[in-house]
């Protein structure tokens, strides 16, 4: 395992458990922001067009499928399994995979696709997606590399689906 990945994880995770308001924000972005991102992204997409909606959700489906395939061949335990003194803010299944991050890949596939369709909404969505990825690290359930790879997968699929459709 890369020492830099562990060091950066420990630095970001050290923020958790310090202040309840920060913990609340981390938990919100780690668990609740993804469905709200999708809901508001679709609701505020003007004009509301079916082709755009198809691009958004096909990008998410393709990215998530890629994550599932990668996770099958490259299983990586979550940080709280491998490391001591992790501030775990959200519950996950003990045996679930860490690499790559499903929440991050879904949020970036959606946000990147939205950016390619509607720049202004896309910028907001990308900022929220970044907060989702960071919160997954800070909450103690992903390493930074899990999030970085997921960002790449999500953005590549969004670009590809938009290009072919």
Q: Are 153 and 106 in contact (CB under 8 A)?
A: no
Nearest-5° Cα angle at 33, 67 to 74: 15
Tens digits of per-residue pLDDT, 150-165?
Answer: 999 999 999 999 999 8
Adjacent-strand bridge partners of 97: 77
| DSSP code at position 17 | T
Please give the biggest Cα pair distance in the chain.
50
In the block, which residue shows the tokens 């198809």?
A: 54
> What distance in Å separates the CA atoms of residue 9 and residue 12, rounded to the nearest whole number?
5
pLDDT of residue 2: 85
Question: CA 92 to CA 1: how far, in whole Å?
Answer: 22
For residue 138, how far is the Cα from the chain centroid? 12
Q: 48-69: buried (b, 16+ CB within 10 Å) or exposed (e) per residue?
A: eeeebeebbbbbbebbbebbee
Residue that is written with structure tokens 């924000």 in the block: 25
- Tell me what pLDDT residue 42 has: 85
CATH for the stretch 3-164: 1.20.144.10
Q: How many CB atoms lie within 10 A of CB 165?
A: 12
Q: pTM of the prediction?
A: 0.93
Sequential pLDDT tens for the chain (165 residues): 589 999 999 999 999 999 999 999 999 999 999 999 999 988 887 666 788 889 999 999 999 999 999 988 998 999 998 899 999 999 876 568 899 999 999 999 999 999 999 999 999 999 999 999 999 999 999 999 999 999 999 999 999 999 998
**Tens-place pLDDT, residues 23-52:** 999 999 999 999 999 999 888 876 667 888
pLDDT for 91: 80
Two tokens at 37? 């991102």
Q: Which residue has the tokens 């609740």?
A: 32
């Amino acid at each position: 395992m890369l020492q830099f990945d562990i060091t950066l994880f420990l630095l970001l995770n050290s923020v958790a458990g310090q202040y309840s308001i920060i913990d609340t924000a981390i938990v919100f972005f780690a668990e609740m922001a993804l469905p709200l991102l999708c809901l508001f992204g679709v609701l505020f997409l003007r004009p509301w067009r079916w082709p755009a909606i198809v691009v958004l959700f096909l990008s998410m489906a393709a990215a998530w499928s890629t994550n599932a395939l990668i996770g099958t061949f490259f299983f990586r335990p979550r940080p709280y399994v491998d490391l001591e003194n992790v501030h775990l803010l959200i519950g996950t299944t003990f045996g679930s995979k860490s690499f790559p991050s499903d929440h991050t890949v879904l949020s970036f596939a959606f946000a990147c696709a939205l950016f390619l369709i509607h720049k202004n909404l896309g910028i907001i969505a990308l900022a929220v997606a970044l907060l989702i990825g960071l919160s997954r690290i800070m909450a103690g359930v992903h390493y930074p590399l899990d999030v970085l790879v997921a960002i790449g997968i999500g953005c590549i699929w969004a670009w590809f689906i938009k290009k072919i459709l």
